Structure 1
Amino acid sequence: MLYYKDYQLGKDKEWVVFVHGAGGSSSIWYRQIRRFRKSFNVLLVDLRGHGRSKDLLESYVKDNYTFNDVTSDLLEVIRHLNIRKAHYIGISMGTIIIRTLGEMAPQHMKSMILCGAITRLNIRSRLLVFLGHSVKRFVPYMWLYRLFAWVIMPNPRDIMSRNLFIGEAKKLYKKEFLRWFRLTNEVNPLLKYFKEKEIAVPTLYIMGDGDYMFLPPVRKIVQEHEHAILQVIEDCGHVCNIEKPALFNKLAIRFIQYGYI
């Protein structure tokens, strides 16, 4: 089973499950834990190959992963803890895993809060992925990750977020990084399906106004989906929970408690 850390207040409290993105770990939620554990039962998980789940490779012998595989790992922990329903908060590629969970086990979902959400790859991001696949066997994987981090988070205000993600990615094995990178082959058809088929779960998108790659498609999907709302944070990039933690926490908790922002 994956490494996880849980903080439980009691059986009468609601659960909040945090899901990090590719190259990160549960440590990226350090600015949320103290605030959320005051009001909720909290679950943090290190996804396969990441953080303290990095050395659990004997359980994952396949050369390639799918989003269903990664989501099944998360589902195993949820069921192990007997979490019947929870609010799910994800960042970047973690938002795709949460959305996949909504397809696999909607009975476990009470709401989704998707930060820096990936709902479509634009031309620039598709070119970046193509470039990565073309050179991944010939260049150090950290070069690729640094390039991706810089393209997604290019502004001076993104330095802290960018450095945190790069620091976490250094803990990955190269083979593990390549397995995760292959997941990009699934992204476009999966996101197209998610766009066309909304699940009836209250959904809050929290995006930075400077998240130039991913904010425009989120604006479109919110217009089309009945159960989704969008909150854009000013002077903020891709990783809102790190750049604007107080506001992020306030918006997320209000949505969990009242269903609006």
Structure 2
Amino acid sequence: MPHVSADDGVKLYYEEAGSGLPIVFVHEFAGDHRSWEPQLRHFARRYRCIAYSARGFPPSDVPEDPTMYGQDRARDDIRAVMDALGLDTAHVVGLSMGGFATLHFGFSYPERARSLVIAGCGYGAEPAKREQFAREADAAAQRFLDLGMEEAGAAYAVGPTRVQFQNADPRGWAEFRDQLREHSALGAANTMRGVQKVRPSLYELVDKMRTITAPTLVLTGDEDWPCLEPALLMKREIPTSALAVIPNAGHTINLETPAEFNALVADFLHAVDAGRWPERDPRAVSGDILGSR
């Protein structure tokens, strides 16, 4: 099976399909490289598509040491995949945990990002919810260790922003749930505590967001409650960004609403590749309501 080495030697499993300009897909906490199958089948017709499993998610390595996990490591693992595959630049598409890593990649390595798609990004970001999120993340990690993924993973799959997927596509949701139950309990716990629980709030990253130069598409479902306000924040602060909201959709939008997700991303990528993606006109943020002065 193909693997690349991260900067610290952790082996990351990847799959690829297609040829052309590269797209790197970065999965969410409840997913892995398989989560991007609807996107690989669609975009591989015109792009070189790469999907990898994050550290802690087999067939990638599952480090036992919790210090081997972190937001900066997740960001740098995107770069490591690109370096190993000889990609100077790439479109980077991330969902949730992968969306956070994509955002950090965008302001840390601007010369490597052809564009950014930041989807379902915002869990635990709102300042008033930080302590609650940390408690829930710690409790979820302990459940993975105590109960195992068969039981704890099945419960995680029916969270308040997952039931939309279950209701819309029971068969697809069942596949998602079953793949989640195959994850490593140790990898899930270490990722939850080492990445999710302690990553910086988006509201602490406003100055860095303002430096992003890559064309950026922010995506969210309208029932992905923890991500709605953060999506608006990113739209306001990233000068090259657009925001799209998918109606009646939860968190797992690339699987729950693949047609809508793929269409939005495809239109975005086509505009970027044609050199037609705009940077915001400063007059759009003057502070006036009517602009009649």
Q: Is the 8 A contact 1:141 1:177 kept in 2?
A: no
| Matched letter for residue 62 of structure 1 | D
Describe the shift of the 1:132–1:99 C-alpha distance in structure 2 as closer, same or farther (beyond 3 A).
Answer: closer
Cα deviations by residue, 1:164-196 (Å, 9 ceiling, x for unpaired): 443233222222111101122322x25233333
Cα deviations by residue, 1:28-61 (Å, 9 ceiling, x for unpaired): 11111122011111111111121421xx34xx45
Cα deviations by residue, 1:186-238 (Å, 9 ceiling, x for unpaired): 22x25233333221121101211121221122123312331111011112221
Confirm or deny that 1:251 pairs with 2:264.
yes
Q: Is the 8 A contact 2:102 2:117 kept in 1?
A: no
Q: Which of 131, 156, 160 matches 1:151?
A: 160
Q: Which of 44, 62, 65 matches 2:65?
A: 62
Aligned to 1:71: 75
Confirm or deny that 1:228 pairs with 2:241.
yes
Query: Which TM-score applies when normalising by structure 2?
Result: 0.76
Counterpart Cα distance in 2 of 1:218 and 1:148: 23
Between stretches 164-173 and 77-86, larger displacement belongs to 164-173
Cα deviations by residue, 1:121-171 (Å, 9 ceiling, x for unpaired): 345675254034257446425455555441332443375665444323322
Offset at 1:256?
Answer: 0.9
Query: Which structure's CA Rg is the greater one?
Result: 2
Aligned length in residues: 253
Aligned to 1:168: 179
Aligned to 1:39: 46
Between stretches 13-22 and 164-173, larger displacement belongs to 164-173
Describe the shift of the 1:210–1:16 C-alpha distance in structure 2 as closer, same or farther (beyond 3 A).
Answer: same
Cα deviations by residue, 1:106-131 (Å, 9 ceiling, x for unpaired): 22101111221227534567525403
Describe the shift of the 1:246–1:119 C-alpha distance in structure 2 as closer, same or farther (beyond 3 A).
Answer: same
| Matched letter for residue 93 of structure 2 | I
Aligned to 1:4: 14
Between stretches 238-247 and 138-147, larger displacement belongs to 138-147
Confirm or deny that 1:130 pairs with 2:139.
no
Query: Which TM-score applies when normalising by structure 1?
Result: 0.84
Q: Which of 191, 205, 208 matches 1:197?
A: 208
Aligned to 2:196: 184
Confirm or deny that 1:98 pairs with 2:107.
no
Percent of aligned positions with the same letter in both sequences? 24
Please list every run of at least 4 consecutive aligned residues from structure 1 whose deviation after the TM superposition is greater than 6 angstroms.
none
Aligned to 1:22: 29
Q: Is the 8 A contact 1:125 1:213 kept in 2?
A: no
| Matched letter for residue 170 of structure 1 | R
Matches within 5 A, 1:43-54: 43-53=50-60
Task: List runs of 5+ in structure 1 lacking aligned partners.
Answer: none
Counterpart Cα distance in 2 of 1:141 and 1:180: 15
| Matched letter for residue 25 of structure 2 | F
**C-alpha RMSD over aligned residues:** 2.6
Question: Which structure carries more relative contact order (alpha carbon 8 Å, separation 6+)?
Answer: 1
Q: Secondary structure of 1:83's partner?
A: coil
